[in-house]
Structure 1
Amino acid sequence: MKIAVDAMGGDFAPDEIVKGVELARDNDSSVEFVLYGQTDQINQLLKNKQNISIVQADEVISMEDEPVKAVRQKKNSSLVMAAQAVKDQEADAFFSAGNTGAVLAAGLFVIGRIKGIDRPGLTTTLPVINTENGQFVMLDVGANADTKPANMYQYALMGKFYAENVMHIDNPRIGLLNNGTEADKGDMNHRKVHDLLAENTDLNFVGNVESRDLLNGVADVVVTDGFTGNAVLKGIEGTALAMMKLLKSAVVDGGLKAKLGALMLKDGLKGMANQMDYSKHGGAVLLGLNAPVVKTHGSSKAETVSNTMAQIKVILASGLVEQLKDYVTENKEQLEEIKMTTKK
Structure 2
Amino acid sequence: MTRVLTIALDGMGGDHGPETVIGGAEIALVRHPHIRFVIFGNETALRPWLEKYPRVASSSEVVHTEVAVSMDDKPSQALRRGRRVSSMWRAIDAVKEGKAQAAVSAGNTGALMAMAKVILRTIPNVERPALAAIWPTARGESVALDLGATVGADANQLVQFAIMGEAFARVVFNLEHPTVGLLNIGEEEVKGTEQVKAAAQMLRDDSLSMRFQGFVEGDDIAKGTVDVVVTDGYTGNIALKTAEGTARLIIGYLREAMASSLLSKIGYLLASGAFKTLQSKLDPRASNGAVFLGLNGLVVKSHGGTDDVGFASAIDVAVEVASAELVAKIAADVGKTKGLAVPSVKEESQLQESEAVLS
Q: TM-score, with normalisation over the residues of structure 2?
A: 0.88
What is residue 148 of structure 2 aligned with on the other side? 142
Long gaps (5+) in structure 2: 343-359
Looking at structure 2, the residues matched to 159 and 30 of structure 1 have their Cα atoms a distance apart, in angstroms, of 28
Runs (4 or more) in structure 1 with deviation over 6 Å come to none
Alpha-carbon offset, residue 51 of structure 1 = 2.0
1:249 aligns with 2:253: no
Q: Provide the C-alpha distance between the structure 1 equivalents of 2:33 and 2:259, rounded to a whole number of angstroms.
A: 44
Partner of 1:52: 60
1:207 and 2:214 aligned: yes
**Which residue of the other structure, out of 91, 101, 105, is the alignment partner of 1:92?**
101
Determine the C-alpha separation between the residues in 2 that align with 1:135 and 1:52. 32
CA deviations on 1:76-133 (whole Å, 9 max, x unpaired) are: 111111112222222221110011111111111122211210111011111013x3xx
Unaligned runs of 5+ in 1: 338-344
Partner of 1:317: 323
Alpha-carbon shift at residue 8 of structure 1 (Å): 0.5
Instruction: Go from structure 1 to structure 2 and tell me whether the alpha carbon gap of 1:121 and 1:318 turns closer, same or farther (over 3 Å shift).
Output: same
The normalised TM-score by structure 1 is 0.92
1:278 aligned residue: 284
Q: CA deviation at 1:187?
A: 1.7
Which sits farther off after the overlay, 146-155 or 195-204? 195-204
Give, in angstroms, the shift of residue 171 of structure 1.
1.1
Matched with 2:265 is: 259
Question: Is this contact kept in 2: 1:126–1:278, CA < 8 A?
Answer: no
Query: Kindly, what percent of the aligned residue pairs are identical?
Result: 33
> How far is the alpha carbon of 1:263 from its aligned partner?
2.3
Task: Note the C-alpha offset of 1:244.
Answer: 1.6
State the match for 1:170 in structure 2: 176
* Distance in 2 between residues matched to 1:336 and 1:81, nearest whole Å: 30
Which residue of 67, 75, 84 corresponds with 2:75? 67
Letter in 2 for 1:336: A
Question: 2:228 — aligned with what?
Answer: 221
Q: How many residues align?
A: 332
What do the CA deviations read for 1:171-203 (whole angstroms, capped 9, x no partner)?
111011111112222121111111111223511
**Structure 2 counterpart of 1:99, one-letter code:** N
Please list the CA deviations of residues 185-224 of structure 1 after superposition, one character each: whole Å capped at 9, or x if unmatched: 2121111111111223511111111111211111110000
Residue matched to 2:37: 33
Is the 1:127–1:278 Cα contact (8 Å) retained in structure 2? no
Secondary structure of the 2:58 match is: coil
**Structure 1 match to 2:349:** none
Q: Distance in 2 between matches of 1:287 and 1:179?
A: 25
Equivalent residue of 1:334, what SS?
A: coil
Segment of structure 1 superposing worse, 109-118 or 244-253: 244-253
Q: CA RMSD in A?
A: 1.6
1:342 corresponds in structure 2 to none
Structure 1: which amino acid aligns with 2:9? V
Query: Using the alignment, how far apart are the partners of 1:221 and 1:124 within structure 2?
Result: 10
* Cα separation, 2, equivalents of 1:51 and 1:250: 45
